[in-house]
Amino acid sequence: MPSLEDELFPSTPGKFKIDRAHHTMNRQFHRCFASTSTMFLWALFLIALTASYLSFQSFVDSGSRYFSASWGGIQWEKQVRNSAQIHRSGGMSVLLTGAAGFVGTHVSLALKKRGDGVVGLDNFNSYYDPSLKKARKSMLNDHGIFVVEGDVNDSRLLEKLFDVVAFTHVMHLAAQAGVRYAMENPGSYVHSNIAGLVTLLEACKSANPQPSIVWASSSSVYGLNDKVPFSESDRTDRPASLYAATKKAGEEITHTYNHIYGLSITGLRFFTVYGPWGRPDMAYFSFTRNILQGKPITVYRGKNRVDLARDFTYIDDIVKGCLGSLDTSGKSTGSGGKKKGPAPYRIFNLGNTSPVTVPTLVDILERHLKVKAKRNIVDMPGNGDVPFTHANISLARREFGYKPTTDLQTGLKKFVRWYLSYYGYNRGSKPVN
């Protein structure tokens, strides 16, 4: 019986053995080959069809996001323009990022009260209870301040805002705050404090006219500096936390944009801001909540059992510093992204210049709340906190007359009054928060 090899290949070169069996097998081979080719073509067709569908779906999704965006349209533009209207001679029109935040809300109200135009921007993230931010937004709306819900990383939104309003100033307060949270979610700090800052600066340098910029740096940039009080000329190259590092990076980035594009930029190093409508993650806020609820509070202490101290600064004093910085910011010199001359670049400390220990803070809260705190005293962990802060404010005093007037005793009394009212707390019952 001839082998398969004999059937397919001739035994004598140049000659083929052709018989019925060979012919039948040859037809089966070609049929199989044709069937495989057909399947291959069908596979290619299905792949192409799938790719086309995915491409179309992506287009539909993009379009859906565009048309379902929470901004844009005639009515939206009207709200932006109305909110940005200036109602005093020599006033300014300010785009204020982080408007539903603690400092942002107070600065927005102060600007509006004196007749400046204000348009807010906030992404209402869930770093802390968004309902508090929504309540702030409602208060701003009651005062005629429109807050756009959007992210500072959204370049299209920023471009649209600058297209609708020729802002004279930008007050950039949007940021990922908190020292300890950086150990849990480091990416959020890079996203907000670095990428978001660059996106905003890109929009500002391309705007015509270019706005003057005032933005929130932080006293955290002083890091492991042990020279007190902290002065703007002190070294800031030893950050103790990722938060501090992103703020320090922001100072370097803003200097670059000032140098290359002629943007007028002022950085403000805030020192432990507190007061009504504050941030729930801050110690004074969480202490108040836990004391009222009968829960223990954790009070950290530094090396050698030394009490931690902070330069607590009341919100009204910070607001005065923000407005003073805006009023003296000078003009940007660029146009269409091109520098035409040098522009101001400044950094100021905004503090109270009277540090108070954390145990003393608790003592004051106990007196105002008329409740004794259950204190757990523990050593400070290596989570980015520093043992003390103390601001030298002589530069801000000289440049725009900055002078804090509220001591911690008075400021905490105002905060406690707000807290009890906001959370519907009646003495003798538990708060609703």
Task: List the catalytic residues.
Answer: 243
Contact between residue 366 and residue 286 where contact means Cβ atoms under 8 Å apart = no
Rounded Cα distance, 38 and 30, in Å: 12
Q: What angle do CA 240, 279, 144 make, to 5 degrees?
A: 130
Q: Using H for helix, E for strand and C for coil, what is the string for 272-341?
A: CEECCCCCCCCHHHHHHHHHHCCCEEEEEECHHHCECEECCEEHHHHHHHHHHHHHCCCCCCCECCECCC
- Give the dihedral of Cα atoms 172, 173, 179, 181; nearest 10 deg: -100
Contact between residue 364 and residue 409 where contact means Cβ atoms under 8 Å apart = yes
Cα dist from 20 to 2, 7, 329, 373, whole Å: 13, 11, 98, 103
Rounded Cα distance, 170 and 147, in Å: 14
**Encoding tokens for residue 105?**
């809300």
H or E element at residue 194 = none
Q: What are phi and psi of 217, to 5 degrees?
A: -90, -140
Rounded Cα distance, 243 and 350, in Å: 18
Contact between residue 273 and residue 313 where contact means Cβ atoms under 8 Å apart = yes
Pairing of strands 212-216, 169-172: parallel
Contact between residue 236 and residue 222 where contact means Cβ atoms under 8 Å apart = yes
Pairing of strands 93-97, 169-172: parallel
Q: What are phi and psi of 127, to 5 degrees?
A: -55, -40
For CA atoms 284, 286, 287, 292, the dihedral sign is: positive
Q: State the number of CA atoms in the 13 A half-sphere of 11 facing the CB.
A: 7
Amino acid present at 412: L
